[in-house]
Amino acid sequence: MDKNKKVAPVTKVDVANPIGETKKPELSNVMISASIEKPQEIQEAKKVDVPTIEKRIQKLKELNQLQEKREKVITSLKNVENFSIDTTSEDCYLKLNDGNGVGFKISNTEVIDELVIGIKSRLKLELEKIEAQFNFAI
């Protein structure tokens, strides 16, 4: 007899379940908790405040007006950003007129450039203010 021969360890065999199948619980022992809503709870869930159609239409009008303002500011900002001054040219001037037709003309390129920079920053601030006003809550 060889003493170096290895023997497999002894395993216990369940006499009631000799094949080693896992036992499944009986359904009679399983408890399932069911949550049944009461009619009052259903009614309370349906009472979510839905704004009237008039309020929703008014909110839609306000949002459309904001969107139109935003588009105008964006268009103006793009136009100002595309504006460039040729400092060597004498043909560059800025002409301003009021509602009564009274106006003046500036041809100093440094002054015009400074005004353009101021207009750009003012339009960017205006765009930020408009975008902050977008609120979808009624």
How far is the C-alpha of 81 from the C-alpha of 79, rounded, in Å? 5
Q: Is residue 29 part of a domain?
A: no
* Average pLDDT estimate for 119-131: 97
- Split into its structural domains, the chain has a count of 1
Provide the domain limits for residue 101: 51-132
Q: What is the mean pLDDT of the chain?
A: 80
Q: Is residue 82 part of a domain?
A: yes
Q: Is residue 137 part of a domain?
A: no
pLDDT bracket for residue 5 (50, 70, 90): low
Bridge partners for 106 per DSSP: 94
Question: What pTM, to 2 d.p., does this model score?
Answer: 0.58
User: Would you give the DSSP letter of residue 100?
Assistant: T
* Lowest mean pLDDT, pick from 1-5, 43-47, 57-61, 66-70: 1-5
Q: Is residue 114 part of a domain?
A: yes
